[in-house]
Amino acid sequence: MFSDKDISHFASLETPFYHYDLALLQKTLATCATAAKLYNFHVHYAMKANFNQRVLDCIEAIGFGADCVSVGEVNRAIEVGFDKGKVVFAGVGKSDKEINGALDQDIFCFNVESIQELEVIDELAGAKGKKASVAIRINPNVDAHTHHNITTGLDENKFGINSWDLPACAETLRKCANLEFLGIHFHIGSQITNLDVYKNLCVRVNEFATWFEERGFSVKVLNVGGGLGIDYHNPDQQIPDFDAYFKIFNEFLNVRPNQEVHFELGRALVGQCSSLISKVLYVKNGKKKNFIILDAGMTELMRPALYQAYHKIENLSKSGLPAVKYDVVGPICESTDCFGKEVELPESHRGDLIALRSTGAYGEVMASKYNLRDEIRSAYSEAVS
Ligand SMILES: *Cc1c(COP(=O)(O)O)cnc(C)c1O
């Protein structure tokens, strides 16, 4: 919800831009940190969700680790001040250059996604006279019940090592002298709103941990990934239920003494703290359809075009009841450049401010220069200290 003061401030700025509510971000982070602390759980922030400098500064300050998917993210995290000892590195296609870069940074753990990758890390670590800490990313074949384009933990997905390859994986771990086995890692998908999914995940994690222990491996780390969803339909109901989320893992995971439980949260931490603020350029009233054409498009916010994602759309300049149905579209020369079809809004006019809500995760980071568009701008409401 925006105050009149926010709205008149927005009216003075050049659109489009991402607006960040840093006070809300801090409140969300603090709520998560408190909930995790109750069980001594370790939280890593999944940096790919948003690497805006101000956002990273807030997250670093709360003391979370970083979950990275490229050496660029590893280096940025450490530059920003994240503790190297809390940096994890996942990804199905880590290049030699990336592996070497992360070895040089002495990160906490590589989350390894294939047997071949284990061998490559072993070789590159050996050449540096180092030992690389690794966790095995296992594909647990658990259905995340989310959009198929953001499901990662099924047999058909490219991520992780499948259960039938684990015997060969254990053998490789035994013969690789430059690897230190830390534990097992999972990440089954994103925007998971049905918490029962995590109960199913816990059952699988317990089975795999036992499997490794039975073969003589000590499993120090259980990394269960992230994926906790947010309520895109109620952007003002802003802080996810971290208590309920962590409680499930506390209840259903068999955690041994001295075993650490790690999480990698992205969307749930940053999703609600930002909105994309745009202006109506034109209104076209057709016979069958009315169009609102915005000055922001898929180049600023790609999620709707990429996976039909829903973002709540609000007209900040009109206070009347929704009365007209519009297709809300961007200016880009692609038919998928559409933020919503038949969206009910108050009658809208050129110059009205439009907010696309809940854009803190996978929003600004996916902006592109397609059509040679301007660099996307950002604005901030400061946190109260
Ligand atoms: C993207 C990603 C996450 C975070 O996912 P969210 O849905 O944003 O919580 C966690 N772990 C890995 C390995 C990822 O790739």
**Distances 305 to 247, 248, 299, 300 between C-alpha atoms, Å:** 35, 34, 10, 11
Nearest atom, ligand 1, residue 191 CA: 7
Atom from ligand 1 closest to the CA of residue 69? 15
Res 295 pLDDT > 90: yes
Mean predicted confidence (pLDDT) in 194-212: 97
Secondary structure (DSSP) of 23-84: HHHHHHHHHHHHHHHTTT-EEEEEGGG---HHHHHHHHHHT-EEEESSHHHHHHHHHHT--G
What is d(CA 230, CA 312) in angstroms, rounded to the nearest whole number? 12
Report, as an integer, the average pLDDT of 200-216.
97
Instruction: Tell which wins on pLDDT, 319 or 340.
Output: 340
**Ligand 1 atom with the shortest distance to the CA of 48:** 1
Q: Is the pLDDT of residue 131 over 70?
A: yes
Pocket of ligand 1 (CB under 6 A): 46, 48-49, 67, 69, 90, 187, 190, 225-228, 264-268, 361
Q: How far apart are CA 149 and CA 201, in angstroms?
A: 19
Hey, whose CA ends up nearest to atom 2 of ligand 1? 46
Q: Which numbered atom of ligand 1 lies nearest the CA of 152?
A: 15
The CA 17 to ligand 1 mean position distance, Å, reads: 25
Ligand 1 centre to CA of 331 (Å) is 30
Please, what is the average pLDDT of the chain?
96
Q: Residue 76 C-alpha to ligand 1 middle, in angstroms? A: 17
- Tell how far the Cα of 153 is from the centroid of ligand 1, in angstroms: 12
CA of 211 to the centre of ligand 1 (A): 25
CATH classification of 22-271, choosing from 3.40.720.10, 3.30.1050.10, 2.60.40.10, 3.20.20.10?
A: 3.20.20.10
Three-state secondary-structure class, residue 15: coil
58: CA distance to ligand 1 center in Å? 19
Q: What is the Å distance from ligand 1's center to 77 Cα?
A: 15
CA of 294 to the centre of ligand 1 (A): 30
- Nearest residue (CA) to ligand 1, atom 8: 266
Domain spans in the chain, listed from the N-terminal domain onward: 4-16+272-381, 22-271
Of 89, 149, 187, the residue with max ligand 1 atoms within 8 A of its CB, to mutate for a pocket test, comes to 187
Instruction: Give CATH for domain 4-16+272-381.
Output: 2.40.37.10
Query: Which tokens sit at 133?
Result: 């800490």
Q: Is the peptide bond before 240 cis (omega within 30 degrees of 0)?
A: no
DSSP secondary-structure letter at 255?
Answer: P
The model's pLDDT over 60-95, given as tens digits with 9 standing for 90+, comes to 999 999 999 999 999 999 999 999 999 999 999 999
Say yes or no to pLDDT of 153 above 80: no
This prediction's pTM? 0.96
Q: Of all atoms in ligand 1, which is nearest to the CA of residue 265?
A: 9
pLDDT of residue 384: 63
R_g (Cα) of the chain, nearest Å: 22
Query: Residue 385: what pLDDT?
Result: 57
Residue 257 — pLDDT band, cuts 50, 70, 90? very high
